[in-house]
Amino acid sequence: MLLGIVSVLVLASCGGGGSDRGDEAGPPTSVPGRQVGLLTVKTVHSLSGQHYDYRQAGDRITVTAPRTNAPSELAEGYDDSKGLIGEAFWDRGQPRRTDQQVCVQLDSVVDASSVASISKLLDDPSLRHLSGIALRVKPGEDGGPGYAITVTQRVKQVGIWGFDVSALRIDDAASVAVAEPSVAGVADFGAVAGTIEGLGTPQMATTMKPPPWNLCARVVGTTVTVKLWFGTGSEPAWSDPEATRKVKLSRAWVYDGYAGGYELGLSPGQSSTFTGLMVTSPY
């Protein structure tokens, strides 16, 4: 199902899924849904009403942080991150499912394919952000907690050749907490995506692939399978041992929800592009 009319749920607006927001951020607010072109945006948690803007053109969805947003910084250690907004978006007419599959081309992964680009990331943490996939998004109802599983490029310890599979619990509009350890597991693709050697030293070198990256994630029962390939090459099979990695969840994370894209940590004026975002059944 190609995303057309999209609803958006803000999942996190601070680093680490529960670190202090800081007194200067202001109180969290819950705001009504708003129309952005063909997209319906629903913000249920944000700091001082901040949000992302959405634009759809053909099969491309561009997510932009308005310049009026507070500065954000996604640090290697999430506890040191500042002013982050995380939003998941999905087809407004989509039924809730337990088992889901999402594929997308990410034009805006953190680029570490050259020494120059890595140096910029090290010098300016605001350039880091996490584009990815959201699975089993379950908005909170009647004041109850909401839940989601996200698959995002790994920034912690600069292992950006991998993807974190995270389980998020959103208690209410005033706080973001994590029901289990934030990262349920890591899908390590260093063997195919490339790695960085000698980070921050004069001998620093990289073999990492440049954007775009093609990412798929499917969840069936307690298993999340992540698939990655590059450029215009044909999509590998789900049974391909080089292109796929598996992460196990606890039974607590098996429930009906929505599926779509996810964006975390865009700095004011920064954009991220999702191309060909498709939500289908894994069967």
Q: Residue 32: which CATH number?
A: 2.60.120.200
**Two tokens, residue 214:** 């093609």
Signed CA dihedral, 72, 74, 80, 85: sign only:
positive
Q: Is the pLDDT of residue 21 over 80?
A: no
Q: What type of residue is 188?
A: D
Please report which confidence band the pLDDT of residue 98 belongs to, taking 50, 70 and 90 as the band edges: very high
Contact 117, 109 (CB under 8 A): no
Identify the pLDDT of residue 18. Answer: 34
Could you give the CA distance from residue 130 to residue 63 in angstroms, rounded to a whole number?
Answer: 12
Identify the pLDDT of residue 236. Answer: 96
Please report which confidence band the pLDDT of residue 6 belongs to, taking 50, 70 and 90 as the band edges: low
Owning domain of residue 187? 6-280
Residue of 40, 13, 10 lying closest to 146 (CA atoms): 10
Identify the pLDDT of residue 33. Answer: 43
Kindly state whether residue 49 falls inside one of the protein's structural domains.
yes
Please report which confidence band the pLDDT of residue 119 belongs to, taking 50, 70 and 90 as the band edges: confident
Number of structural domains, the chain? 1
Kindly state whether residue 1 falls inside one of the protein's structural domains.
no
Please report which confidence band the pLDDT of residue 122 belongs to, taking 50, 70 and 90 as the band edges: confident
Could you give the CA distance from residue 66 to residue 50 in angstroms, rounded to a whole number?
Answer: 9
Identify the pLDDT of residue 173. Answer: 44
Matching residue, tokens 């029901």: 179
Among 68-72, 134-138, 194-198, 278-282, the range of highest mean pLDDT: 278-282
Pick from 33-37, 105-109, 143-147, 248-252: least confident = 33-37
Q: Helix or strand or coil: residue 17?
A: helix
Pick from 13-22, 107-116, 153-162: least confident = 13-22
Kindly state whether residue 92 falls inside one of the protein's structural domains.
yes
Kindly state whether residue 187 falls inside one of the protein's structural domains.
yes
Pick from 40-54, 61-75, 156-170, 203-217: least confident = 40-54
Kindly state whether residue 181 falls inside one of the protein's structural domains.
yes
Identify the pLDDT of residue 160. Answer: 80
**Alpha helical stretches, state H, 124-200:** 190-193
Q: Quote the distance between the C-alpha of residue 214 and its chain's center.
A: 14
Q: Is the pLDDT of residue 7 over 90?
A: no
Mean pLDDT of 178-206: 81
The average confidence (pLDDT) of the chain is: 78
Burial of 266 (0-12, 13-18, 19+ CB in 10 A): buried
Identify the pLDDT of residue 213. Answer: 94
Please report which confidence band the pLDDT of residue 156 belongs to, taking 50, 70 and 90 as the band edges: low
